[in-house]
Structure 1
Amino acid sequence: MVCSQRSTGARRLLLSLLLIAAWEAGSGQVHYSVQEEAKHGTFVGRIAQDLGLELAELVPRLFRVASKGRGDLLEVNLQNGILFVNSRIDREELCGRRAECSIHLEVMVERPLKLFHVEVEVKDINDNPPRFLRQEQRLFILESRTVDSRFPLEGAFDMDIGANAELRYKLNSNEHFHLDVKTNEEGTNSLGLVLTKPVDREETQELRLLLIAVDGGKPELTGTVQLLINVLDANDNAPEFDKSVYNVRLLENTPNGTLVIKLNASDADEGINKEIVYLFSNLVLDNVKSKFTINSNSGEITVKGELDYEDCNLYEINIDAVDKSPFPLTGHCKVIVKLLDENDNTPEMAVTSPSLPVKEDAPPGTVIALISLSDRDSGANGQVTCTLSPHVPFKLVSTFKNYYSLVLDSALDREKVSHYESVVTARDGGSPSLSSTASLSVEVADVNDNAPLFAQPEYTVFVKENNPPGRHIFTVSARDSDAQENARVSYSLVERRVGERALSSYVSVHAESGQVSALQPLDHEELELLQFQVSARDAGEPPLGSTVTLRVFVLDENDNAPALLPPAPGGPGGAVSELVSRSVGAGHVVAKVRAVDADSGYNAWLSYELLPAAGGARSPFRVGLYTGEISTTRALEEADSPRQRLLVLVKDHGEPALMATATVLLSLVDSGQAPKASWRASSGPVNAEAALVDVNVYLIIAICAVSSLLVLSLLLYTALRCSASPTEGACGPGKPVLVCSSAVGSWSYSQQRRQRVCSGEGPPKTDLMAFSPSLPQGPSSEDNPRQPNPDWRYSASLRAGMHSSVHLEEAGILRAGPGGSDQQWPTVSSATPEPEAGEVSPPVGAGVNSNSWTFKYGPGNPKQSGPGELPDKFIIPGSPAIISIRQEPTNSQIDKSDFITFGKKEETKKKKKKKKGNKTQEKKEKGNSTTDNSDQ
């Protein structure tokens, strides 16, 4: 067999070396060389230095070397970074007789992951001598053979390559034969003995020669074989072939029975000496005989076994043509069968995954997997390309020959895609091409890149006061898109001060469930709104967090009974004492009970009730239902008891209602002995009366001064506007001028049409208006109780009876809490029973003077103003004046009742009676007088 005997000439070796050098220049990889059979520890190269790695980082970065195939041939000393020979390297065992033989190393370091390719070329040494397949070769030569007859010999083979495998032959000196060596077009040697002197069987029947094969290595190695030549008796002509060498090209995988070649030899003899038999030469090896067979009669060589180009691509078959003479002569030829490669091997693929799973914050370019490809075919059939599908955030990068790296191409987000399935396809360049696939599963590892999020930035919670300690009031919940520990959320309070105390003394939050609990009973009178933040933080590294705001409204409950205000404690036994003249008429106010309630809304709405006397006698006094004013129901008589003891029940409107009682002691005296009724203080009745008279005088003076100043200002303003436009025939409407504004509302007045003023029909008129501020609408739910408006409650000054203060929040406007619209205080009319009149008594509650400002509705205006509209009536405690507001008519006619008047109630009523004999107005006034005399 010449498949293992091929030698490479100097030209082919030089060409191979040039190709290797050109590839090395373009690959950019580290290249070393080492001779085969080098001893253990032989220096190969400073691999760490050449790769740009520091010696100190080899161990921490897990420096390791791997090679395809045997991995123990080379090793790296981690102390000095030197690559050395670890075990015996036999080039012939590693690469056979291939011209190129290299060990490919994959060097990997982590933190970060990097991959290097190192090629170590194994150089051949002359360590294999030429070998003959047989120790002895036997030849049969007819004595009648002529000079220059050639007899083929089996040559030797050398496992080395290049010059070490270039063989030359020598034959020991003799007189009959010399050695002939020819090189055919396939690059193989054809060896034969040439007869130089005829042999004579009678002289010599057997000759022994020594054939020596010498290689081209240094030092030279030799191999020998014994040639045993038997001289046969005469047969004049031996069979002859048309050619000495036949070349046949055959596809691999050719089926059995396929004809390879039909040989034809001729013999010049006659008879039986002309008949020829074709046989395999005894030089043909058994593996060739297992692949081919020859028909001894026809000379046809056919395929017998499986032909595989990857196992052997060249077969040399020596054929003998022997005649049938008793002393046969033999003709010789050689058939060289060269196999052609077919694309019959699919690409092979090996995938290693050193970086799975991949963190979602891995930067683009991170190596995820290593892919190595191989194909046993040759040429285009063995050229393999690699593709990736479907569309995934990865790409393939060719790193070295048939090596690829799967690297990250774009950013990952585990919360969007946590798992990728991709298919790597390897396809060769054959026609048709063959391919193989490998599935690659890539898991995306989570990193803490998402903070816990609440469903909304703030929540409104309503809790009734006097709750039991530890009551659950709300549950906060935040969602984290991460996984495992990065998604485990814990909750905590954002600590702050609430007044003089820490927030944690009021509420607590469960770290795991997010349940918010009240640690102590909440008191609406102490704390109406508790606003705080809850923080949600995950368990990632580093942890991320967010906050949510909780607005806890403490709802009022009726837990405070009405409390009586001074001067109730000043009288004897805690009673109010007053002197009443017997000459007073019906409806005269003789005393007033003052009380406040610490609650809010209806729970603080107080009503007054006069309890019946013990004896069942009818009392000549009554108490205002909502004012607490005690007045006479009729004129006092001599028969009435000089000392009247009245019990007034003060009750709120809560559920259940709470109450308190006040005792009022009235002393009936003659008209000459009784001073003006006044409150009795603890120091005596005279001092209290004097103090009250002083206060009323100051109030009357102040109100009159302000009213006069306002009227004068309006007259002056109207005159200036009319004089500023002399060309106009009438005064046009002026723009509203702002008088006063506050957080509660805005007061303004607008000048009426100047036409009325200039025509002299009456004094200048103005409209006084109050605007309620727009309040944001809060969340409301049927499941959550509605928060009462804190504006229901009186200010501290009103509770104490400070009459000089004017609080717009007490002015009859009820602004609801979150989710509620503007409403009006519940009031009781003291002027007229007709709802259309719109005159309203002071707001319900304690500590309000009866001399209150009353706002009247204009004709046709509704009692209740909708959201965003101008309120129709206002009650401002602490002032004896009456203010009437009427909305401006839509037409040009303006009624005199649209004017605003200032003064006491009695003066206002007198002026109304004098105006044009308005019967409707007189009915209203009579109705007001009747209502004043009735029980409220």
Structure 2
Amino acid sequence: MVVCWGPVVRVLVLQAAWALGGGQVRYSVPEEAKAGTVVGRLAQDLGLAAGEPEARGLRLVAQGRQASVEVSGASGVLVVSSRLDREELCGKSAPCALRLEVLVERPLRVFHVELEVTDINDNAPVFPAARKNLSIAESSLPGSRFPLEGASDADIGANAQLSYTLSPSEHFRVVEENSNSRSKSLFLVLTKPLDRETVPVHGLVLTASDGGRPSLTGTMELVISVLDANDNAPQFTQSVYNVLLPEDALEGTLVALVNATDPDVGSNREVIYEIDTFVPHSASDVFSIDAKSGEIRLTGSLDFETVTFYDLHVKARDKGTPPLSGHCKVVVEVLDVNDNAPEVWVTSLSVPVPEDAAVGTVVALLSVSDRDSGANGRVRCAVWPAAPFGLVATFAGSYSLVLREALDRERVSEYEVEVRAEDGGAPPLRASRGVRVPVSDVNDNAPSFAQAVYTVLARENNAAGAELARLWARDPDEAGNGRVSYSVAEGGGGGAAAGGGWRPASSYVSVDAESGRLWALQPLDYEELQVLQFEVRAVDAGEPPLCGNATVQLFVVDENDNAPALLPPAGGGPGPGAAGEAASGPGSGALWAWAAWGAPAGQVVAKIRAVDADSGYNAWLRYELWEPRGKGPFRVGLYSGEVSTARVLEEADGPRQRLVIVVRDHGEPARSATATLSVSLVEGAEAALAAVGSSSSSSSGAGLRPAAGAEGSAAAATNVWLVVAICAVSSLFLLAVVLYGASRWAPQAAVLSGPGPATLVCASEVGSWSYSQRQSRSLCVAEGAGKSDLMVFSPNFPPPPPGPAAKETQPEPPALLDTVVDCIPGQWIVVMYTVLF
């Protein structure tokens, strides 16, 4: 029950505080005061000592809308907390007072605080519209008044007292008058007569200024359109129009176009034309005028020998009330004309003209005449275009059309020559005659291939008869002179698998004599042939025939058509770190090795060795332990093929372990071979005896791993091989430098000297490979010797052109892994990278 009576007790206490609190405090603050502005020392004005406001819980009680003031901390100061806008709080009401209640607890008391928000000039006068359009007749008298709507100001008092000004104008002023209503009336007064033809539209700006300090202003644009009155007569652009008209002018010919303008508008400016007087009177049958456009046209024939001059008086009348009119005169002078034009005939024409015709060859004979006499009968002739032909006058009225420049049918196969004749009349009359001169062809252009070198990529094992590329040679000649036939001229190739033998290109490819399509005569084998270079010849059928050549470089792209092959162990027999082989067929084998119990993890037991006849990714091998799966005692290197212990060998592993190792390449699809390795687990002493027996006889059937004391001799042997390998690499580098220097001074074939990127093939245990357009083989040698990865870069040929022959593209090399390749034009450079086991 105590919880239920608590609110009731608080209400009673609050009512008692209301009864006791009879004091009232008044403050004043300007609107738009910044937050934090001190309104008054509330605690001090309420009689509270320092520290009491916070102790007695002095706070502001909000009523209705949220107050924009608050009591600040322990000081009891009343400060502005948010924006105060008098126009938003009270509108036009004055004064604007906010009633606040301040509550003091302990004991509970309520005080009334009245906060007056005073006005500042923060609102500019606003017109009902930013623009007002007025229409005033130009006949309006000075003193005419036109009412305007004034502006309004949201402020009060002096801040809302408005005065008006008008932008400078000699025709208008603004007047403000008091009326019986509460507001003033605003008028626009005309001070000077308007002239629409001078100023059709007046643009003024009406400005309203309030009485604040500083004063704020608002503007409204006044656009005053002046309405027209018929106070202007039509005016012609010319008082006299002089026209020269030839006597052979046809009926309907435009004689003159008279134009009268009226600065009025509407019907006051619409003009009607008419011919008022004809001199002579017979001219009424010869001339007529269009009433709307003012066009004077010829309606009869002229005769210079009868009438040489005509005078026409034209009137223009508007449609105003009353109508006003203007006048002008048109003087027509008839001119005698040259009635006969020259005539041109072709009397002889010798076409077609061979394109190797000599300069000065006569092509045609022409005859020119004019039936007029005097200057009207004198004829001048010219040929157009001016080249490659010209005119030569033989005698009066006769001309020869001769060749002035050498012809080229492939550039222009036919000429349209125009012979132009002009007499000496005023104005002169002209005539022309067109002459068509075809040019016959001679065999002066040899076939030209689009490229000097074509690079073609073909996958091995392609079908016989497959199209490899399409060659095309252009011959701009026509008929037989431009008909091209193709043939394989020379070239050949060979490969390592073929013993380096040379075979002619015609045994591999053939070219269609008409279409230039390059066909494969037999399937290509990358292991036999890596690159085939030959020439294709294009011969036209002209007399004598001309020919052109192009070099074709055919690169065979390797496919994964060879499975990995297991190699016998190094040294010819089993031994430490090697395995014996009992081969069961290609791609598989049975191997065996020894391992001592207690051998630490990571000790190499045997090494599986394999080779792939393919190249690139297709020859990159990886080794995987197929059986036993799971956590067995042995593991195999992914790329090295070394079988090592995965953990310490224990007697629980049994006397023998059978490992099945799969060797896969990286081709698509991958090919594989399987090797079975039997590892015998023996005591350490037995393994040492087996190792001694293996080192004493390379053909013995048993061997043991070397003891720990033999590791020093193995390291010494490794150092010897390392020195030998470094010397070999240095020798090869010096040889490459010598060959490079020789190639710089030796003449090279142009076909192999173009720029082009080198494509590397790098085989390493890291696994970074890229395709090659040549051969890349991995050679495995005996145990303890170096493993040489043969890297061959592609020759420095130009990039293959777009088209059917460029469908097979090679990817960019992903990385250069410890290789140095020097691209020498016309040479193949081979770099050996030695890795010691």
Asked if TM exceeds 0.5, the reply is no
Q: TM-score range by the shorter chain?
A: 0.3 to 0.5
Superposition TM-score, scaled by structure 1 size: 0.39
User: Which structure has the larger Rg over C-alpha atoms?
Assistant: 1
